[in-house]
Structure 1
């Protein structure tokens, strides 16, 4: 209904005799008109005037209002003074401010927090940028953040709230995140909750993710923290998942010693072992983490199952192959990881390895292929061998290992086109031997003998060959050790 039609309606209604009701409706009508006019003016202003000018006018208006409110300005200055005293661990100054009675002990302050130590938000929340630079906190949160133990003790003795979370975290969450064991001890002594959830759904144990926080975790566990409590969010990770992701062997050992489930599943059906294997490779720095390798060793020593499948049927070995991590692949294969396991798309670990061979500069891909083939991995379908050449053209040792796993290979027209000319020139000696060997004539008797022995071991060469009464040179030959040329 337009404004003119509304006005006509009210005029006709007033003539009908309902005078009192008309006055109320007319008042409502004029409020609507006033609101519409103001909205139109604001829209026009933001369209015509530069936005920076509008912001400037707004800031000037706010400053003007503060000048008109001396009491508010005084309170703001007192809060700033209180915050500075907390950050400096000046207990005497804090006490003097509290004794004035002008500031409540649990006053919420606005604190610079670009790292979001004090803040925790639910997943899926949209947040404006300024909220990521500042957080709300009470005095006890600030003390914990800045390791102001003496001032924290003063606040707690004066009755400061200990389990409040103005920006999504309790003081205990903050203490664990900054690895402040003294504050953890102080908070526990005052009755802080050890299993409380932050707004993002994490317990204090989930925030123990550094070596320095091991003592914090010990104290929490001794006070009843639940090591198998999953986070209340879409991941549903346990503290063991968190420690595995960040690669903290000491925390992993601590949680396992206190009853953590080694094969606990999160919402994606991932175990801590899968988590540690995946995060063992830093894709940005292109480096492998020895700490994550040690975490995997600890988990496997506690009988973690290497063949658990996540939602899309990948196993830990798929993830290790994707990272081209021969250390973890050997670790997993030696404890019984299935080299033939297929994901939801029908890909085995060796297919994952083929996809990433050319983009893992710090890897040693020939070791990865050698391990898989010595632990019963299915070979690439011979008519598709050109895909091996495409992926591994700059890694002749990997091609050699793959080629030697067959009794004989017949080349196709796609072989030569799969190898770039410059790559062929760099490794001409090897590729000439490859094309010479892969003809209609059979391979050497020595190679055929190798294939026969490997076939009799039924794919378990990695475990069986070391026990054969053979010279070490013959054992390495059976295990497909590359020699740089095919014959």
Structure 2
């Protein structure tokens, strides 16, 4: 029995020692966490003598200084903590004491990735310049920029991809989380502005897809290729922007026209086709949004290009009944379309004109598609297609008024007679 008692005592001693060591480790981790959050560099340096700088620290959810930031016990690498909460002095201190900016957490994120994921949202419609809240938000934003520059200056890889299924680069993350102020900083430090993610999309593709003009402007200014195509679909930034702007949400919000114009002004190819042969004009016509169609026509969009399935832009326009009811826009498209192709390669008519309410229009359009144009009408179409909407006012000064009116006056009744 005595031996048993002694072995039990020995076991209790080991357990007690382990508990004491665990308590000491927990206390050390808590102190290091608190020092990082307070930006107490003197304490950080002292604590790093007993804790390797690149090893995680475990923070308990009930930690006094951390409970407002954490709802469960968490293990985090010191440099990640400093980056995530934008503690510039702590970040610099850790880097100077050997912290590796490329060490990753269990999700595959580096300190730079985490900083972009937790970038502060500082815009608000409820504050005015000079307001106390606005000054605080500006200071937060400036502090985040300072931390980003510190990381870049200390070797953070600005092209390191997240180690997950998306394979986002820092630029992609910046687009995803709306952190456009960092785009130029990353580009200045060597970020590949045309890098592609797992979906073969560049940052400009992503920005165009969500119609974020500020990001698009920054990326274009940094040298982004406006005509780069997504390898899997052939979509360009222009086509993605037109698609989003032509959607129901785009119409309701009246969004995207300035984004589309930005791309066109900077050399986006208006007639570029995707893998299915669709152009931006096909998307715009299907959406039926007049402002976008007019803008593409202004930049000499071709309304006679066919998809691989033999569908013209006007075919896409006639797919939807809501488009057909806009007779003024339909007339304009008809005036640009020659030869008028109402069916695809399989001889199928657009779904919209097959509705009973459009019976008469359908018959009229079929007759029009079979009717050869007069030499005069062919000349008018050629003038419109060559000069487009963009230069029609310049042409007005060169042509007699009567001739210019006959070229650019759209009359559905005359066209369909």
TM-score range (shorter-chain normalised) is 0.5 to 0.7
Aligned ranges 1:302-381 → 2 under 5 Å: 302-358=266-322, 365-366=326-327, 368-376=329-337, 378-379=339-340, 381=342
Q: Are positions 1:227 and 2:150 aligned together?
A: no
1:307: how far off?
A: 2.0
Q: Are positions 1:148 and 2:87 aligned together?
A: yes
Aligned-residue CA RMSD in angstroms?
4.6
Task: Indicate if the aligned counterparts of 1:85 and 1:93 stay in contact, CA closer than 8 A.
Answer: yes
Could you say which structure has the greater relative contact order, defined with CA pairs below 8 angstroms and 6 or more residues apart? 2
2 CA distance for matches of 1:110 and 1:286? 50
Quick one: structure 1 residues 161 and 407, their matched pair in 2 at CA, closer, same or farther if it must change by over 3 Å? same
Task: Indicate if the aligned counterparts of 2:83 and 2:91 stay in contact, CA closer than 8 A.
Answer: yes
Quick one: structure 1 residues 248 and 389, their matched pair in 2 at CA, closer, same or farther if it must change by over 3 Å? closer
- 1:32-88 Cα distance to aligned partner (Å, 9 max, x none): xxxxxxxxxxxxxxxxxxxxxxxxxxxxxxxxxx999745577567657765775xx
Aligned to 2:39: 91
Quick one: structure 1 residues 100 and 190, their matched pair in 2 at CA, closer, same or farther if it must change by over 3 Å? closer
2 CA distance for matches of 1:110 and 1:473? 77
The range that moved more, 300-309 or 364-373, is 364-373
1 CA distance for matches of 2:17 and 2:383? 84
Aligned to 2:400: 469
Question: In structure 1, which of residues 453, 469, 478 is the aligned counterpart of residue 409 of structure 2?
Answer: 478
Question: In structure 1, which of residues 164, 169, 175 is the aligned counterpart of residue 115 of structure 2?
Answer: 175
2 CA distance for matches of 1:221 and 1:68? 53
Q: Are positions 1:209 and 2:209 aligned together?
A: no
Task: Indicate if the aligned counterparts of 2:108 and 2:162 stay in contact, CA closer than 8 A.
Answer: yes
Aligned to 2:4: none
Task: Indicate if the aligned counterparts of 1:210 and 1:248 stay in contact, CA closer than 8 A.
Answer: no
Q: Are positions 1:191 and 2:155 aligned together?
A: yes
SS in 2 for 1:319: helix
Count of aligned pairs: 350
1:187: how far off?
A: 0.8
Larger Rg computed on CA atoms: 1
1:372: how far off?
A: 2.4
2 CA distance for matches of 1:480 and 1:384? 27
Task: Indicate if the aligned counterparts of 2:117 and 2:173 stay in contact, CA closer than 8 A.
Answer: yes
SS in 2 for 1:298: helix
- 1:433-473 Cα distance to aligned partner (Å, 9 max, x none): xxxxxxxxxxxxxxx9x987534423654747954534699
2 CA distance for matches of 1:306 and 1:464? 13
1:289: how far off?
A: 5.4
Q: Could you state the TM-score of these two structures normalised by the residue count of structure 2?
A: 0.66
Q: Could you state the TM-score of these two structures normalised by the residue count of structure 1?
A: 0.58
